[in-house]
A and B are shown apart, each in its own frame.
Chain A
């Protein structure tokens, strides 16, 4: 079974631009979550999608958005990039909706650098 895939793996953008990251979950998984990892803040939850609906949202500004398609693939978008958005963006998928029942499987991440 293929794991969680994320594209692209590396990305360089400049301030003010926008970026779209993609995540393909494990086949059969309906929940996709996004996390941001930075040296200073650690791993922080961005949002979770389940059956094309955003179910949870972390404490990030509205510049961060996402969506999920009917095949469970998900994209996240960051508009008006800032230097502080430089981070590793991780996507995780799980079978259903409960962290206590189904552990999340993480992709390798997309390393975003904002210049």
Chain B
């Protein structure tokens, strides 16, 4: 039972355009969401997060949108750069557990073409 799903295993965009990565969740107890970026042979790197009390959080080229009613979040990267090519994971944590238990989606491989 996958509580966090990233339905697109891969995404290809042109440099300079917008990249939109999507994530859906089923557990209504999740109240904090994070995006991580992962290069091969490295651990995931934290990108941006959003609390369930917000619907948008922006950090430079990265914006995360949260639609609680639809249980959907998305990561927008504008403009996309070749260095953004990596696997992106969304993750969620909830008030039904104490501490740092993150539930991850399966990841989306983003390829930004020069």
Contact = CB atoms under 8 A, between A and B. Distances in A.
Interface stretch (A14-22, A65-73, A74-82, A100-108): A100-108
B99 A50 contact: yes
A99 interface: yes
Interface in B1-52: 31-32, 34, 36, 41-46, 49, 51
Interface residues of B, number: 26
A94 interface: yes
Contacts of A44: 104
A101 B28 CA distance: 19
A63 interface: no
B102 interface: yes
Interface residues of A, number: 27
B63 interface: no
Contacts of A42: 89, 104-107
Interface string B75-114: 0000000000000010101000111111111110000000
Given A42-B105, A109-B43, A100 B31 contact: yes
Interface of B: 31-32, 34, 36, 41-46, 49, 51, 89, 91, 93, 97-107
